[in-house]
């Protein structure tokens, strides 16, 4: 009997030693992250742990360290994911609950933060920790009533190639109903391109749970071989943001000026509204609507009033590579202002689906697929009532560098199928963009 017992004991000893090695390795990782945080290298600590998240996520000790490192590094939404996993396995972990409350506070979930702080205070803790929690609870009101302000500014530049800078048909001639043949003045034109963009946003509290905010951007898109199709786009919004627990409401004035070859092609002025509900740290639903007037200075027959609405859902998955997916559906109408220009008005609907994967602490991948169908209200000069099906696919990577620099290569493919040959086209664009956050 002893002859068989000894190998079994040896097997279990070896198994326990291997398990101990894993624990030691995990603890070494956590000790290194703690040392980095203690020395002030908070971003390095977060990146170290994030790089091991696929392997160790679900271990409460690891998730807790990842959560507090994410808070210190300024990415509180990632902290929410990690700390919720800790509480899923141990709801009585007061320290994790307090850190989760702090993360909620940092992302603006005031009521959720207050609720988690209140739960955390029910546990026994040192007086200093309780005083710290009290200061956070007080500041939830103070930061709003006192006028907390957030401002961000960015600059971006890129170069690339555009296969169809004027979004035109590839045919040099089209045949109209009745057999008439017309020459196309400017068919599909390709060109190397460059773009420069700058913008920013701000948010400032007016009173309890009420902020006012604004954002804007200015973009120049230059086609070197076809400068007459270079564009300028300026847009911005100014509005109010009301928070009530997990509900958020926004209403804003919006404006846009779009120019081709330095000459204004279209102006948009409008009003939009949005309701947003956060179910939890991984699921968010938005319902939105917009009314706008479209004006074309050199082609007033195209002027129209636009009304649109839609719904959007975002889901952050608790899985490898931290996937985030979203789905948007919308519909709308553009009513022509001239009764003799029914070709300018249309009814449309569309869907957009997107996903993001993070394969390392610095590298993420994004993809968006969009489809839109448009039915125009009346015939054009060729007696064709347009019906268009628009498809766009975008793929991009985003690599972040220290000091808020990022590099973003991207490629997009567009296809517009129309019963009118003049409106049918395909377009492929590849760009490499460099961005700096200030």
Flag the least confident range among 127-131, 243-247, 262-266, 423-427: 127-131
Listed residues 145, 168, 203: the one ending a domain:
145
* β-bridge partners, 249: 242, 275
Q: Are residues 369 and 397 in the same domain?
A: yes
Flag the least confident range among 65-69, 74-78, 123-127, 192-196: 123-127
Mean pLDDT score of the chain, rounded to an integer? 85
Residue with tokens 């120049």: 220
Number of domains in the chain: 2
Q: Are residues 133 and 170 in the same domain?
A: no
Query: At 11, is the pLDDT very low, low, confident or very high (cuts 50, 70, 90)?
Result: very low
Query: At 240, is the pLDDT very low, low, confident or very high (cuts 50, 70, 90)?
Result: very high
CATH code at position 358: 2.40.160.60
Q: Which residues contact 379 (CB under 8 A, 6 or more apart)?
A: 342, 343, 385
Percent of the chain with pLDDT over 70: 85
Query: At 127, is the pLDDT very low, low, confident or very high (cuts 50, 70, 90)?
Result: low
Q: Are residues 386 and 341 in the same domain?
A: yes
Q: Are residues 368 and 221 in the same domain?
A: yes
Flag the least confident range among 104-118, 154-168, 228-242, 255-269: 104-118
Query: At 111, is the pLDDT very low, low, confident or very high (cuts 50, 70, 90)?
Result: confident
Average pLDDT for 403-427: 93
Task: Quickly count: other Cβ atoms within 10 Å of residue 279's Cβ.
Answer: 11
Average pLDDT for 133-157: 68
16: pLDDT strictly greater than 80 = no
Flag the least confident range among 24-38, 345-359, 392-406: 24-38
CB 88 within 8 A of CB 81: no
CATH code at position 46: 1.25.40.10
**How much is the pLDDT for 30?**
86
Does 92 or 136 have the greater pLDDT score?
92
**How much is the pLDDT for 74?**
82
Does 189 or 16 have the greater pLDDT score?
189
Each residue of 312-334: pLDDT tens digit? 999 877 667 778 899 999 999 99
**How much is the pLDDT for 415?**
97
- Two tokens, residue 74: 């300024």
5: pLDDT strictly greater than 90 = no
Q: Say whether pTM exceeds 0.85.
A: no
**How much is the pLDDT for 179?**
65
**How much is the pLDDT for 22?**
38
Listed residues 88, 114, 145: the one ending a domain:
145
**How much is the pLDDT for 12?**
45
Does 63 or 427 have the greater pLDDT score?
427
Q: Which residues contact 422 (CB under 8 A, 6 or more apart)?
A: 169, 174, 184, 382
Give residue 18's domain range. Answer: 2-145
CB 140 within 8 A of CB 113: yes
Q: Are residues 226 and 242 in the same domain?
A: yes
Q: Are residues 181 and 263 in the same domain?
A: yes
CB 172 within 8 A of CB 191: no
CA distance 206 to 146: 8
CA distance 345 to 190: 29
Q: Are residues 114 and 169 in the same domain?
A: no
| Separation in Å, CA 161 to CA 164, 178, 186, 196, 394 | 9, 38, 19, 15, 15
Q: Are residues 101 and 201 in the same domain?
A: no
Each residue of 349-398: pLDDT tens digit? 999 999 998 888 788 899 999 999 999 999 988 888 999 999 999 999 99
Q: Which residues contact 147 (CB under 8 A, 6 or more apart)?
A: 204, 205, 206
Nearest CA among 246, 247, 265, 245 for reference residue 256? 265
Top mean pLDDT of 97-101, 237-241, 246-250 is at: 237-241
Q: Are residues 277 and 377 in the same domain?
A: yes
Each residue of 250-275: pLDDT tens digit? 999 999 999 999 999 999 999 999 99
Residue with tokens 């007459």: 228
Q: Are residues 104 and 168 in the same domain?
A: no
Q: Are residues 402 and 258 in the same domain?
A: yes
Listed residues 79, 114, 145: the one ending a domain:
145
Q: Are residues 106 and 241 in the same domain?
A: no
Q: Is 16 exposed, middle or buried (0-12, 13-18, 19+ CB in 10 A)?
A: exposed
170: pLDDT strictly greater than 90 = no
**How much is the pLDDT for 61?**
87
């Amino acid at each position: 009997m002893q002859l068989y017992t000894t190998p079994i004991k040896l097997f279990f000893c070896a198994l326990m030693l291997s398990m101990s090695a894993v624990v030691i390795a995990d603890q070494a990782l956590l000790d290194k992250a703690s040392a980095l945080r203690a020395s002030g290298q908070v971003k390095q600590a977060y990146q170290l742990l994030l790089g091991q998240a696929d392997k160790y996520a679900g271990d409460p000790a690891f998730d807790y360290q990842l959560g507090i490192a994410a808070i210190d590094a300024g990415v509180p939404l990632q902290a929410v994911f990690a700390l919720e996993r800790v509480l899923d396995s141990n709801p009585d972990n007061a320290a994790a609950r307090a850190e989760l409350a702090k993360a909620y506070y940092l992302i603006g979930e005031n009521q959720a933060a207050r609720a988690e702080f209140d739960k955390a205070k029910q546990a026994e803790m040192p007086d200093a920790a309780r005083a710290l929690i009290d200061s956070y609870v007080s500041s939830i009101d103070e930061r709003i009533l006192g006028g907390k302000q957030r401002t961000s500014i960015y600059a971006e530049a890129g170069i690339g190639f555009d296969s169809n800078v004027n979004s035109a048909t590839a045919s040099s001639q089209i045949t109209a109903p009745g057999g008439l043949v017309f020459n196309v003045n400017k068919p599909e034109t390709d060109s190397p391109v460059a773009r420069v963009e700058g913008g920013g946003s701000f948010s400032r509290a007016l009173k309890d749970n009420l902020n006012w905010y604004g954002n804007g951007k200015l973009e120049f898109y230059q086609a070197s071989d076809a400068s007459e199709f270079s564009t300028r786009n300026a847009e911005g919004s100014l509005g109010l943001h009301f928070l009530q627990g997990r509900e958020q409401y926004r209403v804003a004035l919006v404006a846009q000026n779009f120019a081709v070859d330095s000459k204004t092609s279209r102006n948009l002025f409008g009003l939009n509204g949005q309701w947003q509900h956060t179910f939890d740290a991984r699921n968010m639903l938005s319902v939105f609507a917009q009314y706008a007037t479209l004006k074309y200075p050199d082609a007033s027959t195209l002027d129209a009033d636009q009304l649109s609405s839609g719904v959007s859902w975002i889901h952050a998955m608790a899985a490898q590579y931290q996937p985030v997916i979203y789905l948007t559906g919308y519909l709308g109408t553009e009513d022509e202002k001239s009764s003799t220009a029914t070709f300018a008005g249309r009814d449309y609907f569309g869907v957009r689906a997107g996903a993001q994967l993070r394969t390392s602490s610095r590298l993420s991948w994004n993809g968006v697929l969009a489809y839109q169908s448009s039915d125009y209200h009346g015939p054009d000069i060729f007696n064709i009532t347009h019906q268009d099906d628009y498809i766009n696919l975008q793929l991009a990577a985003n690599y972040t560098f220290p000091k808020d620099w990022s590099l973003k290569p991207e490629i997009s493919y567009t296809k517009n199928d129309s019963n009118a040959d003049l409106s049918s086209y395909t377009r492929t664009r590849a760009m490499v963009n460099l961005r700096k956050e200030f």
